[in-house]
Amino acid sequence: MRKLMAWICALMLLAGTAAAGGLVITDGTAPSPTPAPTATPATEPQTAATEATEEAAPEETEAIPEAAEVTPTEAPATPVPEPEKEKEKTPSYADSQGFGIRNGPREAKRVAVTMDDCYDRERVREAFELCKQYGVVMTFFPLGDQLKAKDAELWREIADSGCEIGSHTMHHTKMTHMSRAGIATHLYRFQECLDEVLGYHYGVVSVRPPFGSYRTDDGKIYKTMESVFKSYGYEHIVLWDVSQTEAEKAKKDVKNGSILLYHARARDVKCLKTLIPWLVDQGYELVTVRELLEFDEIEISPEIYNHRHDQK
């Protein structure tokens, strides 16, 4: 009995020890102690899925390359157009000639018929009517003192028709012994008289001095005259290579590029009545002096030329 009680006490002692250590005895063998679980801080709760993902992630051994630095691109500036280059003027036939020009290019079948002085306006009218009849043009070189107000309608018709009006200067005076001022007066007074008759500015580009004189007695170009003419825009003076008033002789003298000289006289007009239709039949193109020699265009404007006003 005493032995039984000792065994029961031993069992109760063992049971208390097991309860204090959290052990369950099943077969009398002491189990291995189980470590207490580590508490997760309350401030960083993590789920089991998150922990599993983090544990499965491979350890990074290479640094992630930094993004390449991007240099900001400036907005393209508005292109500034380059200044236009001044167009080079194509050299004209006249540019290849001297101060006095006797004819135009010989290559083309073109001629220019001209009429000087213009003392007799009736003969001027007849010559102009011939132009209209045959559909051609010619160049008139009147003297400034022959541009009368009573003939204004005639000169306007001539200018409007496509015929050309050139300058024969103011009076029929030889200019190779004139002073600079005297020559200038002849040029600007002609332009004033022409503008007054027409009622508008007609920028003359062709000029023929009286007698066609521009050389001194020793045969040299009168430099004073050349200088004044050029200062008024006349780089060349217009001469001629045909001056026959007999039609048959004129026909023999005419060549490509010829400039024909006539005057407002009965015999000259009679010659033209035969010569102009013949030239047309022969295939010649009758043009103005400006066209034949390739002078600049004639500028037209409403403001008439006044020398004193322009010199201020």
110-122 pLDDT tens trace: 999 999 999 999 9
Residue 171 confidence (pLDDT): 97
Does residue 195 lie within any of the structural domains?
Answer: yes
CA dist 232 and 176 (Å) reads: 17
Does residue 64 lie within any of the structural domains?
Answer: no
- φ, ψ (nearest 5 deg) of residue 149: -60, -35
Q: Which domain holds residue 218?
A: 110-311
Tens-digit pLDDT profile for residues 15-24: 444 444 443 4
Residue 74 confidence (pLDDT): 54
Q: What are the Cα distances from residue 189, in Å, to 237, 279, 309?
A: 18, 35, 13
Does residue 268 lie within any of the structural domains?
Answer: yes
Does residue 17 lie within any of the structural domains?
Answer: no
Query: Is 80 exceeded by the pLDDT of residue 29?
Result: no
CATH of the domain at 294: 3.20.20.370
User: Half-sphere exposure of residue 205, counting CA atoms within 13 Å on the CB side?
Assistant: 16
Model confidence at 64, pLDDT cuts 50, 70, 90, reads very low
Cα 159 off chain centre by: 29
CA angle centred on 235, ends 234 and 241, rounded to 5°:
95
Does residue 171 lie within any of the structural domains?
Answer: yes
Does residue 214 lie within any of the structural domains?
Answer: yes
Query: Is 60 exceeded by the pLDDT of residue 4?
Result: no
Does residue 203 lie within any of the structural domains?
Answer: yes
Query: Is 80 exceeded by the pLDDT of residue 139?
Result: yes
Q: How many domains does the chain have?
A: 1
Computed over every residue of the chain, the mean pLDDT equals: 82
Tens-digit pLDDT profile for residues 240-267: 999 999 999 999 999 999 999 999 999 9
Does residue 54 lie within any of the structural domains?
Answer: no
Model confidence at 12, pLDDT cuts 50, 70, 90, reads low
Query: Is 70 exceeded by the pLDDT of residue 226?
Result: yes
Model confidence at 91, pLDDT cuts 50, 70, 90, reads confident
